Amino acid sequence: MSVMSPIRATGRALRRSKRLKLAVPVEVTAYEGEAEAFREATQVMDVNAHGGLLILEGSVRHGQTLRVLNRRSQQQQECRVVNVEAADGGKWAVGIEFTSPAETFWQISFPPTAPRAATDSRG
């Protein structure tokens, strides 16, 4: 049985902060439990204050833990895979979110987000 992610509940991604096109060189280490599964140098293609989108050759799964090293700043951040889709050349487009706040990890300031309107749950 598949559980729908709240991120994809409406058929399109719901983001807590604005996504910006920004290529940042990173090194990604994927883990299976406590063991390192693989390490790969790549780039993040889009970023937001809570994570980003990167392209990987290595296969990952939803919920898997990754450690991302920003090669410009040498900062590391633990992340969780929140989306995986096939990309060109047999690679994977992987959406990640930080497991703890890291709004300065990408070394840019993000614009504030507009508050979301409350929905009426009475239908």
Q: How confident is the model at residue 121 (pLDDT cuts 50, 70, 90)?
A: low
**Domain presence at residue 79:** yes
Contacts of 76 (CB under 8 A, 6+ apart): 67, 68, 69, 70
- Structural domain for 29, as ranges: 19-98
Q: Is the pLDDT of residue 51 over 60?
A: yes
**Domain presence at residue 50:** yes
Q: Is the pLDDT of residue 50 over 60?
A: yes
Residue 100 near residue 80, CB atoms below 8 Å: no
Instruction: Supply the pTM of this predicted model.
Output: 0.76
Residue-by-residue DSSP string for 97-110: EESS--TTTTSSPP
Q: How confident is the model at residue 9 (pLDDT cuts 50, 70, 90)?
A: very low
- Cα 6–8–14 angle (5° rounding)? 80
Q: How confident is the model at residue 16 (pLDDT cuts 50, 70, 90)?
A: low
Contacts of 65 (CB under 8 A, 6+ apart): 30, 31, 78, 79, 80, 81, 99
Beta-ladder partners of 38: 30
**Domain presence at residue 120:** no
Residue 37 near residue 57, CB atoms below 8 Å: no
**Domain presence at residue 31:** yes
**Domain presence at residue 123:** no
* Number of folded domains that form the chain: 1
